[in-house]
Amino acid sequence: MPAAHGSRLIRNVLCQHLPTIERAEGVFVWDDEGNRYLDGSSGAVVTGLGHADPVVLAAMAEQAGKVTFTHRGAFTSRPAELLADRLAELTGMAGVWLVGSGSEAVEASLQFALQYWREIGEPGRSRFLSHRHGYHGGTLGALSLSGHARRDNAEALVHDFLGLLAPWPYRYGAGRGDAEFTADLLAAAERAIVAAGDTLAGVVVEAVGGATGSVVVPPAGYLPGLERLCRDAGVLLIVDEVLTGLGRTGTALAVDHWGVRPDIVALGKGLGAGYTPIAASLLNERVLDAIAAGSGTIRHGHTYAGNPLSAAVALAVLRRTDELGLYAAARRAGERVRAGLADLAARHRLIGEVRGIGLLWALELVTDLEARRTDTPPGVLSSRMVAAATAHGLLVYPSTGGINDAVTLAPPLTISDDEIDLALGALDSALTDVEAALAVQPAAV
């Protein structure tokens, strides 16, 4: 018999009815009732290459016919070696540690940082600083870095690493220009670094804020300034690029926009692009050389890390991304999305802000435009927008941090101009529906 909640499959919302996906191709997915949806958020900002790419599927089948698994302690594999070489070439990092998910990549990054300090004789450096409104994953170390609603259930087990104000001008700028706001953020960060003293191992931040607030793009001087503070204090800068890495913002890493060179980088979603579970932690020479000169041993790992099948698929994703010129495509398509969202904002009072970079964009949703707030609990308005967009055949992704209402538009990097226009039209209709239900007056044009 089915469980009391209606299904033996445990879902995030136990009694929620979800459509059953039947197939997917390009930027579209179909359910088993024949309804078509434009994948306007690449799932959870994952399917950057689109669905059912024939080249990637062929590489998957070819590798499956050879070998699908070996433990990294017994063998290496050609796909894993080539993938590591390509990632190092793309990012300028010195070493690549393969894992299975973005949360694992963040956990590995923390463990690499802790091992680095032990290797050089400073084992007391065991704390980290991160943004009070960020998201780094669902494991305990990652949740310790995350100011997100998902932290609540694990509060007794996680560390309190949340020492930095998020670089979010719309919410926290308080009328300051970017230069003044950045200076204040960095002054506060410097105070937090100094206060942590010789217990501080590193500062961990998202290049662009993701799930908590939806696409929080930092002011231009913030990440370079934070890098400078870390260098001055001698601590590690660890950047979470799980959401943004490998083309989503139009560059290999989002930090490339600001010329920042982290000590450790976590990659995830875009690496497997939805074709396989795979992620990575990347180390620079400073960290890797210290371990090599010390114990020469990595003291953590996962069973499926670096398996030949996932490595071969990820390598095909990177090759296909190059062949299709998707970094440049993300920048071009992003401009069209930006212009379209700006037009929607001029006509819909439900939109408080349009923000984004590359092909990663968000609409901040408000019911009071001047006060920048909603009259419903956080998450309610986002859920309504997701439902309305889905009814019009568009999938968008809500903010989930429990602090605001926003939806993310981040379609596959392969999206065409006509498909962008289709997505914008569906968003327009969804906004109209939600505004009508809330009796929100349209903006004066």
Q: Two tokens at 303?
A: 């069973």
Q: What percent of the chain has pLDDT over 90?
A: 89
Q: What percent of the chain has pLDDT over 70?
A: 98
pLDDT attached to residue 14: 87
pLDDT attached to residue 407: 98
Q: Residue 242: helix, strand or coil by DSSP?
A: coil
Superfamily the domain 21-52+325-438 falls into:
Aspartate Aminotransferase, domain 1 (3.90.1150.10)
Please tell me if the domain spanning 21-52+325-438 has the same topology as the one spanning 55-323: no
Is the predicted pLDDT of residue 16 greater than 90, yes or no? Answer: no
Backbone dihedral region for residue 133 (phi beyond 0: left; psi -120 to 50: alpha; all else: beta): beta
The three-point CA angle 373-376-381 to 5° equals 85
DSSP codes joined into one string, 175-214: T--HHHHHHHHHHHHHHHHHHHGGGEEEEEEESSB-TTTS
Mean pLDDT of 366-378: 92
Is the predicted pLDDT of residue 5 greater than 60, yes or no? Answer: yes
pLDDT attached to residue 312: 98
Where in 302-421 does DSSP place strands (E)? 351-357, 360-365, 397-398, 406-409
Beta-bridge partners for 267: 280
pLDDT attached to residue 442: 63
Tens-place pLDDT, residues 257-272: 999 999 999 999 999 9
- Among 3.40.50.261, 3.40.640.10, 3.40.30.10, 3.40.190.10, what is the CATH number of 55-323? 3.40.640.10
pLDDT attached to residue 250: 98
Is the predicted pLDDT of residue 3 greater than 80, yes or no? Answer: no
Per-residue pLDDT band for 439 (boundaries 50, 70, 90) equals confident
Mean pLDDT of 139-143: 93
Per-residue pLDDT band for 7 (boundaries 50, 70, 90) equals confident
pLDDT attached to residue 21: 97
pLDDT attached to residue 1: 46
Is the predicted pLDDT of residue 445 greater than 60, yes or no? Answer: no
Prediction pTM value = 0.96
Find, among 376, 397, 386, the residue nearest to 433 by Cα: 386
How many Å apart are CA 118 and CA 218, to the nearest integer?
A: 32
Domain ranges (residues) in the chain: 21-52+325-438, 55-323
Is the predicted pLDDT of residue 4 greater than 70, yes or no? Answer: no
How many Å apart are CA 312 and CA 64, to the nearest integer?
A: 9
Q: Two tokens at 345?
A: 């904002």
Per-residue pLDDT band for 444 (boundaries 50, 70, 90) equals low
Residue type, position 351, single letter: I
Q: Residue 20: helix, strand or coil by DSSP?
A: coil
Mean pLDDT of 148-154: 87
Q: Two tokens at 232?
A: 């001055």
Mean pLDDT of 418-425: 98
Quickly list H helices, 197-325.
Answer: 222-233, 269-272, 285-293, 308-323
What's the mean pLDDT when you consider all of the chain?
95
How many Å apart are CA 341 and CA 364, to the nearest integer?
A: 11
Tens-place pLDDT, residues 377-396: 999 999 999 999 999 999 99
Burial class (CB in 10 A: 0-12, 13-18, 19+), 441: exposed
Token match 């930092």: residue?
A: 218
Tens-place pLDDT, residues 43-81: 999 999 999 999 999 999 999 999 999 998 999 999 999
What is the 8-class DSSP label of residue 255? G
Q: Which residues contact 39 (CB under 8 A, 6 or more apart)?
A: 24, 27, 28, 29, 47, 51, 395, 411, 412
DSSP run (H or E) holding 132: none
Mean pLDDT of 306-326: 98
Is the predicted pLDDT of residue 13 greater than 90, yes or no? Answer: no
Tens-place pLDDT, residues 79-112: 999 999 999 999 999 999 999 999 999 999 999 9
pLDDT attached to residue 181: 98
Among the residue ranges 5-9, 187-191, 306-310, the one predicted with the least confidence is 5-9
How many Å apart are CA 203 and CA 205, to the nearest integer?
A: 7
Is the predicted pLDDT of residue 223 greater than 70, yes or no? Answer: yes
Q: Which residues contact 175 (CB under 8 A, 6 or more apart)?
A: none
Secondary structure, 3-state, 145-183: CCCCHHHHHHCCCCCCCEEECCCCHHHHCCCCCHHHHHH
Mean pLDDT of 417-432: 98
